[in-house]
Amino acid sequence: MNLVIVESPTKAKTIGRFLNQEGRVLSSYGHIRDLPEDKFGIDIKNNFKPNYTILPKAEETIRLLKKEAQGASLVILATDEDREGEAIAYHLTYLLGLDSKKPYQRIVFHEITKSAIEEAFKNPRKIDMNLVDAQQARRILDRIVGYKLSPFLWKKVARGLSAGRVQSVAVRLVAERETKIQEFIPQEYWTIEVLLKKLKNGEFKALLVKKDEKILGQLEIKDGKEAKKIIKDLKGAEYKVTSLEKKEIKRNPLPPFTTSTLQQDSWKKFRFPAKFTMKIAQNLYERGLITYHRTDSLNLSEQALFSAKKFIEKNYGKNYWAGFLRRYKTKIKGAQEAHEAIRPTYLDKKSSKLDENQSKLYDLIWRRFIACQMAQAIFDSTTVDISAKKYVFRATGQILKFDGFLNVFPMKFEETELPPLKKDELLKLIKLIPSQHFTQPPSRYTEATLIKALEENGIGRPSTYAPILSTIQEKNYIEKDESKKFRPTEIGFVVNDLLVSHFPKIVDIGFTALMEEDLDKIADGKEKWVKVCREFYEPFEENLKQKYEEVSKKDITEKPTKKKCPKCGGNLLIRLGKYGKFYACSKFPKCRYTESLKENVLGIKCPKCKEGKIVQKRTKKNKIFYGCDQYPKCDFALWDKPTGKICPKCKSLLIQTKRGQIKCPDKECGFELKKAENSDNITKK
């Protein structure tokens, strides 16, 4: 009997249904070997030779797989088709003694369906060492940066910090965006609209777009004074239709999903973080419901294209099919065109065992794929220019004529109907509407826009976007604001400034993108992994030695103040720790006095000890909580922000939850302030 090995138990179960009695399917439960956790694990002098060790969680699995492999006539490695999957397959051949003692085959497929599995079994191959080398090079480069640069941050900034080859670039994007927001100076500008009416009926608005035949730019009308002058000029003006243009506008459907666009859309529509989206997509793939979910390709198989055509014509009508097979080509550098985009494996099949979130994501993938093969949406568009003295106002109207792909994949669009107008028709002025505006700063990144920026800059690959975002949040370098947008933390700003100043290549967007291209070249057999590692390591190591000498910790982490230590009389410093700034005695370690900064003190007395004040703190895992500043003397703490008011029922501090509810933290009390109630009637603590 054959032994088939995959990396996931769910995948094993799905494949097992197709094999019947032809073979046994077992799982490796992910990676089985990696660099050691407690040491560097790379022999630099010996061509960067990695010292792999079996992961503790995999020891029992390896024993079972060895036993099963001995009794099997053939071992078939069916791990994922990307670099990580190839690396798992390689480590399995090494640990199970395949090829030398036991024959093996490597198979790959884009989807877990009966036809795809059967086709894969007909086309076995050996391990692709180019893919393995690319994965190994990435792992070694990441280990070099993490293992060598993190101790530098411990020594020069704070214990517990870490640096990452790709993560640090993502932090830089967020930090630089925040700097632009902080430095942004808003500019005032005005717009002038006119509300007009046909002499008989039909009101509509038009926007001032030209003066003296010159198009007005956004900032052309700089202030209210200029706006008033224009309105004065228009006094007694005749409003006349000077041009009327009607045309059809056609809107094309979006391409099928890649990893990046799936993560972006699931954030926009459901507010799913990238990591959560990938977890659900992994489950859908392993159940055989969608194609492989780590891809940057827009390719679609011929079978999928014809299935979509048949499905659309049968369920929506022939006029809803595009009339041709829509094929898409990615613009992303280094995209794996041999792979497929993310699509459903069966157009009329969906598991009834999906939970709510799985159903949402599956439905999104299904709709996007069907829509990408549908006809264009068609709009009737009307543009009207209206002259008034030396000014021209413009009104635009748009009406949906044929929904096409929008029938399946709804997207936002605005319908504006203009009354029927004729050239040279005179219109009645109802009123002029001047409006003041100010230019807006760039928006903070969301999960969707940060992933898009990473992809556009060539930072990371489909399998790394979600881990990048998770890591930089877990490390307390960035956090989400009230609108769920990313902003750098204090420590994120400091670490980014330090890396930009002293390790510019590590956080250089162009350099990191070139490294990704080098990894792609290794995967294609066009570059040697040892050469790539050496060219990175040697200048990095030399620069690191130099910076240990040049960079002073005091300059980065300490700022003197005029405040005195209440414990010993020494000067207090503003010191930077892993979780932000705080006051600390300059006589540390003799005096260990610390105090929260003003902005972290809520001004609420501790209800437990009656002496301390409630301050905002962070756990080791970077979760915000609120506790007494007299800790460890007083251990009062809350997860939700206290309001400063007390519960009328049990006298506890009322809290405000993340959803904005004001309630008592004591579940047995159960008091909750209804929105209609006046919170001023609740006693202030």
Q: What integer is the mean pLDDT of 207-236?
A: 95
At 615 the pLDDT is 86
Residue 633 burial (CB < 10 Å; 0-12/13-18/19+)? exposed
Q: What integer is the mean pLDDT of 357-381?
A: 97
Condensed to tens digits (0 to 9), the pLDDT of residues 44-53 reads 999 999 999 9
Pairing of strands 613-618, 601-605: antiparallel
CA 35/CA 53 separation, integer angstroms: 6
CA 138/CA 529 separation, integer angstroms: 9
| Encoded tokens for 584 | 């600390």
Q: Is the pLDDT of residue 684 over 50?
A: no
CA 367/CA 538 separation, integer angstroms: 50
* Residue of higher predicted confidence among 656 and 79: 79
Residue 635 burial (CB < 10 Å; 0-12/13-18/19+)? exposed
CA 343/CA 347 separation, integer angstroms: 9
Average pLDDT of the chain, as a whole number: 90
> Hey, which residues does 438 pair with through a beta bridge?
188
pLDDT band at 19 (very low <50, low <70, confident <90, very high): confident
Q: What integer is the mean pLDDT of 41-63?
A: 96
Other CB atoms closer than 10 Å to residue 638's CB: what's the count? 15
Name which of 473-477, 496-500, 581-585 the model is least confident about. 581-585
Q: Is the pLDDT of residue 574 over 90?
A: no
At 42 the pLDDT is 96
Q: Is the pLDDT of residue 685 over 80?
A: no
List residues with catalytic annotation. Answer: 292
Condensed to tens digits (0 to 9), the pLDDT of residues 670-683 reads 888 765 454 444 54
pLDDT-above-90 percentage for the chain: 71
Cis ω before 632 (30° cut-off from 0): yes
At 622 the pLDDT is 61
CA 331/CA 456 separation, integer angstroms: 9
* Residue of higher predicted confidence among 431 and 558: 431
Query: Coil, strand, or helix at residue 260?
Result: helix
Is residue 604 within 8 Å of 641, Cβ to Cβ? no
The residue behind tokens 């501090």 is: 653
Query: All domains of the chain, ordered by start, with CATH?
Result: 2-127 (3.40.50.140), 137-183+445-550 (1.10.460.10), 188-252+377-438 (2.70.20.10), 265-371 (1.10.290.10), 553-595 (no CATH)
Is residue 515 within 8 Å of 536, Cβ to Cβ? yes
Q: What integer is the mean pLDDT of 275-284?
A: 96
Condensed to tens digits (0 to 9), the pLDDT of residues 312-331 reads 999 999 999 999 999 998 87
